[in-house]
Amino acid sequence: MIEESEYVKRREKLAKSLRSNSIAIILSASAKIRSNDTEYPFRQDSNFYYLTGFKEDNAALVIVRAKKAYESYLFVQEKDKEQELWHGKRLGVKRAKKCFHVDALFGSSEFESKIEKFFTKSHYLYYDFKGESKHQDFLQKKAKELLALYDIAPFIERMRLVKSPAEIELIKKALQITKEAHHRAIQKSPALAFEYELQAEIEYAFKKRGAYSDAYTSIVACGNGANTLHYIANDKKLRKDALILIDAGCEYEYYASDITRTIPVSKKFTKAQRELYSLVLDVEKEIISMIKPDILRSKLQSRAEELLCQGLVNLGILKGEAKELLRKKKHKKYYPHGIGHWMGLDVHDACPYKDAAGKEISLQDGMVLTIEPGIYIDKNDTSVPKRYRGIGIRIEDDILVTCSGHENLSADIVKEIKDIEML
Ligand code: GLY
Ligand code: MN
Ligand code: MN
């Protein structure tokens, strides 16, 4: 649970980073149509949520910065009996006044008229024009009256890089649930016939424990399906002799988890599967062990590529001298993606990888990232020994950078061969 006092501090920090005589407008997400007149479940915009913790749509946060002082205002949708009958209760302006420590609270219907007034005092506008909003045309038009326009998103996303203790607690909670889901999948897989059945078992575990949603569409890929990196069809039969790659994580109170385990459908790894799996696991563990403050993500990437390339040579999958193959990027065919990404309110947390000067941001205490090496060998790749074809393996954990090094937040989700087989 994140207290209102923490949101107040975030708004204050953002306000202080704005120019004098400016206005910042951060809008909530808008409902999205799924088909005809039915909507997807509403999910708040991550930046808006980071600054308010408010989960309703048709809302806006406005910060008006004078020379030094600033004021913050929140717009929330008004109570409306007819709308609430269909879509559920709204907080409403009166109750919102008690929940949010802002300088003033207004109904959303007042948004454009209030903004007109604030604009007369402002020279600069901070706004996220990527978002979709019914106020887009109005704001585009108004922006032309000002001296300059800035994208607000990078200011917020930089703040989101380092997680607070309360945020880390929520990520840990998400991971507890995700752990149960993955362990359930490992136990259930020998008795199931289709990928989607396994997906259902995982998502049952998410919902059963009160996770709002998955943090991304679960990937449940048996055999060669795992070689499609974002495979989400999840509609194939589970082949008894194959591996299943399960990349699934729940979202808990808006915080993501992102875990991949690769397990045998039946109870045991074959020898070839074991060889490839051990390579990926050893690399994953070594890269995690390197994590500490000041190290660069690119260093983790290059070391992972080096180790995977050497491993592919050792298994006879790549032929030649490892250094030369690495230089020619021959390993990319079997490991085509990044070593990991920031994780938080978004599974691929929308935080920057470079600072304002274009320099890579090093890892610091409080940042959370995934580590996810993999090897993917297409079933039709005749250049590879036959026994390895059609195997895709990824192992992914979620790591907190700490002042003394790191904490693997998903350390108790099994990944050793013997532990998977035993479970
Ligand atoms: N689940 C998507 C990813 O691992 O990045
Ligand atoms: Mn990931
Ligand atoms: Mn993942």
- The pLDDT of residue 267: 87
Partnered with residue 405 across adjacent β-strands are 402
Q: Across the chain, how many H-helices and E-strands are there? A: 13, 19
Q: Which residues of the chain have pLDDT under 70?
A: none
- Domains along the sequence of the chain with CATH: 4-159 (3.40.350.10), 165-422 (3.90.230.10)
If 0-12 CB within 10 Å is exposed, 13-18 middle and 19+ buried, where does residue 225 land? Answer: buried
Alpha-carbon distance 258 to 340, whole Å?
10
Q: Please tell me which residue in 19, 123, 303, 348 is annotated as part of the active site.
A: 348
- Judge whether 230 counts as a catalytic residue: yes
Whether residue 183 lies in the annotated active site: no
CA 283 from centre of chain: 23
Output b/e per residue, 49-68; b: 16+ Cβ within 10 A: bbbbbbbbbbbbbbbbbeee
256 CA from centroid of ligand 3 (Å) = 10
Q: What is the pLDDT of residue 37?
A: 94
338 Cα: distance to centroid of ligand 3 (angstroms): 11
DSSP state letter for 139: H
Query: What pLDDT was estimated at residue 344?
Result: 98
Mutate to test the pocket of ligand 1, among 231, 258, 349 (most ligand atoms within 8 A of CB): 258
